[in-house]
Amino acid sequence: MTLAQELPKKTLNAMSAEQFITAAIDAIHTEKLALDLVVEQIDERFATACDIILACQGRVVVTGMGKSGLVGRKIAATFASTGTPSFFMHPGEAGHGDLGMLVQGDVLLAISNSGESDEIKTLLPVIKRLQIPLISISRDKRGMLPKSADIALTLGHSQEACPLNLAPTSSTTATLALGDALAVALVHARNFTSEDFALSHPAGALGRKLLTRVEDLMHSSAEELPKVLQTAPLHDALFTMTHGRLGMTVVVDENDKVVGVFTDGDLRRSLERGVTLTTTMSSIMTTNPRAIHKTMRASDALSLMNENAISQLLIMDDSHHLEAIITVHDLLKAGVA
């Protein structure tokens, strides 16, 4: 008989759909109670922790073992993406050389629900010697970690959502919420903007939406800018539009200043009115065309087009001379929607 055959078989507890749903709702309700308990723990200690982090000349180094470490990684990532330089340091590896990641000027944020993590306790003498400010997160102030910390943030004693009250569930949710609260408070203190956020998120749709400017996509070379004089006939405008391939042409006066545009839509409306190929641009163009600055965010330019039901925007200098054109197709192709 093999070892597997000798081990007792575990029977499954048959549950109905209603019982599964009830178990899920009970778990979430238990975690909500843990969050309510965290709210009660927010006091001047939290404010002092924020002040310490704001005064930090280095990085906020987050550490934690097991599930606390997994939550710590997320907290460090949130700090880093919202203006607080941060990274995660594994406490077990720190005792074997990675503690060199910590330098004077850093702040250490150590997470241990019990406050008695052996791996973190081993690091405490070195942290004190390096004079690294220590902020702890634990359920109460009784463990060695919170007693050694400059600021001991607490979660309160919450019931784990696990029916055995063993697996970190409510406690990790509470820790994550407290870490997010720190990050959000620091965002307010730093006057962190969406532009700042974009600089650390250059990849993907979010980065394209926040970082891409009109000047990155606009048509600006002389060969790309279709223009006709306001005295030109429709025949010339059609030729210019076809050559420019932007679905429009810009209409200028004798001083090369923009006085209007003529688009595919204008063409359809003109044909309905029975104009001829000799009709001059001044009588069928759209005056006061929409113009923007080249530093506008591309996503904002797209919103402006959608709001006004137009497909092109002009970029002009202060003297009303045409600098560039951007179309809805340019924006959609770049993925800034």
Higher pLDDT, 5 or 27: 27
Q: What is the pLDDT of residues 118-151, one digit of tens each?
A: 999 999 999 999 899 999 999 999 999 999 999 9
Both 149 and 107 in a single domain? yes
Measure the CA–CA gap between 252 and 314, rounded to whole angstroms.
13
pLDDT band for position 204 (50/70/90)?
low
Half-sphere exposure of 183 (CA within 13 A, CB side): 23
Indicate the average pLDDT of the chain. 90
Q: What is the pLDDT of residues 309-318, one digit of tens each?
A: 899 999 999 8
pLDDT band for position 196 (50/70/90)?
low
CATH code, domain carrying 303: 3.10.580.10
Q: For the residues 277-285, what does the mean pLDDT come to?
A: 92
Query: For a pLDDT cut of 90, what percent of the chain falls above it?
Result: 66
Provide the total of helices (H) and of strands (E) in the chain, helices listed first.
15, 12
Q: Is residue 148 part of a domain?
A: yes
Contact 292, 315 (CB under 8 A): yes
| Coil/strand/helix, residue 178 | helix
Both 154 and 53 in a single domain? yes
Higher pLDDT, 130 or 11: 130
Q: Is residue 289 part of a domain?
A: yes
Both 232 and 305 in a single domain? yes
Q: Is residue 319 part of a domain?
A: yes
Q: CB 215: neighbour CB atoms within 10 A?
A: 16
Both 160 and 71 in a single domain? yes
Q: Is residue 308 part of a domain?
A: yes
Both 229 and 183 in a single domain? no
User: With 60 as the cut, is the pLDDT of residue 203 above it?
Assistant: no
Q: For the residues 57-78, what does the mean pLDDT come to?
A: 96
Both 55 and 169 in a single domain? yes
Both 175 and 138 in a single domain? yes
Domain boundary among 131, 162, 192: 192
pLDDT at 54: 95
Both 180 and 307 in a single domain? no
User: With 60 as the cut, is the pLDDT of residue 201 above it?
Assistant: no
Both 244 and 127 in a single domain? no
Q: What is the pLDDT of residues 14-30, one digit of tens each?
A: 888 999 999 999 999 99
Both 185 and 219 in a single domain? no
Q: Is residue 19 part of a domain?
A: no
Residue span of the structural domain in which 268 resides: 214-334
* DSSP label at residue 61: E
Q: Is residue 315 part of a domain?
A: yes
pLDDT band for position 223 (50/70/90)?
confident
Q: For the residues 75-90, what does the mean pLDDT come to?
A: 93
Domain boundary among 161, 192, 223: 192
CATH code, domain carrying 87: 3.40.50.10490
Both 142 and 73 in a single domain? yes
Q: Is residue 202 part of a domain?
A: no
Both 224 and 182 in a single domain? no
User: With 60 as the cut, is the pLDDT of residue 202 above it?
Assistant: no
Count of domains forming the chain: 2
